[in-house]
A and B are shown apart, each in its own frame.
Chain A
Amino acid sequence: MLKKLGDYVLLMFQVFRKPDNALIFRKRMLHEFYNLGYTSIGIVAILSVFVGAVATILVAYNTDNPLLPEKLIGFSARQMIILEFSPTMISLILAGKLGSQIASELGTMRVTQQIDALKVMGVNPANYLIFPKILSCLLFIPVLIIFSIVIGILGGWLACVFTGVITPSNYVVGLRAWFEPFSITFAMIKTVVFSFLITSISSFIGYNVEGGSVEVGKASTQAVVVGSIAIIVFDLILTQMLLT
């Protein structure tokens, strides 16, 4: 375990270096924006709208008391979406999608000697392959999470319109009640940390695959499992550190 941690840190030292060629690095960044970020918009939108709606209905169901103001439902749904659902749950989904994608891509490159080919050409393979992935995710996933927050809140509003759990106007009043801008900062801090964990862990696992196709498959699964556990652990740590 400690050896793996040491290897992970050493790999990150290889990753965070000045790229060999700035123009190639920019091209790879754009490729990764599309490959890892843009292609995730669909799944994020679908999940966010449905979970936003479900969150609103669940809050309404659990606060079915005439003494509680209806705007509490909008307020609670907003807080759930901003503080936990969008940054954590969407990151977990992305750990599955991006983690397996990155680990299997790098693992296949390793077992087919493409990484060795880069190394013997004089290219730093870790920097060339992993740095653009990490940087593009650090920049794009926060955008996805903001998008998820907006779509999730919209999903809650749609639930109000179509199920009538509360009136849409009361939901909007709730959304605007007791708003703390720090909650957005908190969500973004979590997102950036989770983005780094997703990409760096899956890159580390994929980069160090030894064997053949079976090992690439195992690495892909391992990347999702380890990435997800890391997200949950850091979620607890960050919540404790930043909200108490």
Chain B
Amino acid sequence: MIKLENISKQFGEHLVLDDVSATFERGKTNLIIGQSGSGKTVLMKICTGLYEPDKGIVTFDERQFSNTKEKNKINIRKEMGVLFQGGALFDSMSVEQNVMFPLDMFTNMTYEEKLERVNFCLNRVNLSGINNLRTSELSGGMMKRVAIARAISNSPKYLFCDEPNSGLDPQTSELIDDLISEITHEFNMTTIINTHDINSVLKIGQTISFINKGKLWWSGDNRSVLESDNKELNTFLFSTELTKRVKTN
């Protein structure tokens, strides 16, 4: 479980996050949604330790992560898997080397054991047999899936996905959503997904936190989101004719 308590973050004069508190549960897909510039990426970066909050505390299963010594953070970081928006695959490495990287760094496994784990992870994201491809040879969807394989290779307890569907066609987006959801339940991870894709919200949003103007504006799940009368939430999620019809039906 990941707990955020009274998180505030300011850049210069601009208050990006204002007293945000939320709890992200284990074995669930926890979604953070909000418009561009609402502060959800900053919140994700605070969760992963790339930014320090100005106020507030982040805890991972009762272990303090924010504003603590780097040594303590590293132990928690080794339990994290992160899927970045662009994949952030190491372009000097092959697919196999990318997925094997966390195992190379932090385990004493033999090469055969690591290769077995890599093949398992690649198979899990439906990408068997591409071990020797360079990252430049992959499509956008394949890159995201390789990044997921790398994120889960070291059996993380916490999975963070920053806009996993951005730049993907609807079919591939759905495939990625399904994959993240399946992996979360299969490995009982605490997964946090940063998105503004309504399909993801309705399909895999087991808990949903809506960030607006730097505040936690609304929270619920994919059933209650359809029934909510929160004006800002409805404006954000159901702004097109098609989505309005989803809401009214």
Residues of A within 8 A of B (CB): 20-21, 24, 108, 112-114, 116-117, 119-123
Contacts and interface: CB of A to CB of B under 8 A. Distances in A.
B150 to A, nearest CB: 8
Q: Which bucket holds chain B's interface residue count?
A: 20 to 34
A109 to B, nearest CB: 8
Nearest to B101: A121
Contacts of A112: 86, 88, 91
B148 interface: no
Contacts of A116: 50, 84, 88
Contacts of A24: 104-105
B84 A113 contact: yes
B102 interface: yes
A20 B78 CA distance: 12
B78 A122 contact: yes
A108 B50 CA distance: 18
Contacts of B90: 114, 117
Nearest to A31: B92
Sort A-B residue pairs by CB-CB distance and give the 10 closest, nearest first: A122-B77, A117-B88, A113-B88, A122-B78, A120-B82, A113-B84, A122-B74, A120-B48, A114-B88, A21-B105
Interface of B: 48-50, 74-75, 77-78, 80, 82, 84-86, 88-91, 101-102, 104-106, 160
Contact of B105 (A20, A108, A119): A20
B107 to A, nearest CB: 10
23 contacts: A21-B105, A21-B106, A24-B104, A24-B105, A108-B91, A112-B86, A113-B85, A114-B89, A114-B90, A114-B91, A116-B88, A117-B84, A119-B50, A120-B48, A120-B50, A120-B77, A120-B82, A121-B78, A121-B80, A122-B74, A122-B75, A122-B106, A123-B105
A122 B154 CA distance: 12
Nearest to B160: A120
A21 B104 contact: yes
Main secondary structure of the interface of A (DSSP, over half): helix
Contacts of A117: 82, 84, 88, 90
Contacts of B104: 21, 24
Contacts of A122: 74-75, 77-78, 80, 105-106
A21 B109 CA distance: 13
Main secondary structure of the interface of B (DSSP, over half): mixed
A121 B102 contact: yes
B249 to A, nearest CB: 39
Contacts of A21: 104-106
Nearest to B73: A122
Nearest to A14: B70
A108 B48 CA distance: 21
Nearest to A122: B77
Given A20-B105, A114-B89, 6 more contacts: A21-B105, A117-B84, A120-B160, A122-B75, A122-B77, A122-B106
A104 B101 CA distance: 23
Contacts of B80: 120-122
Nearest to B50: A116
Contacts of A113: 84-86, 88
B173 to A, nearest CB: 20
A121 B104 CA distance: 12
Contacts of B75: 122
A234 B80 CA distance: 44
A32 B237 CA distance: 49
B114 to A, nearest CB: 12
A113 B49 CA distance: 14
Contacts of B86: 112-113
Given A112-B86, A112-B88, A114-B90, A121 B50 contact: no
A116 B89 CA distance: 11
A119 B49 contact: yes
A128 to B, nearest CB: 8
A116 to B, nearest CB: 6
A121 B88 contact: no
Contacts of B89: 114
- Of the listed residues A112, A114, A117, the one surrounded by the most CB atoms of chain B closer than 10 A to its CB is A117
Contacts of B106: 20-21, 122
A121 B84 contact: no
A16 B123 CA distance: 39
A52 B236 CA distance: 70
A117 B91 CA distance: 12
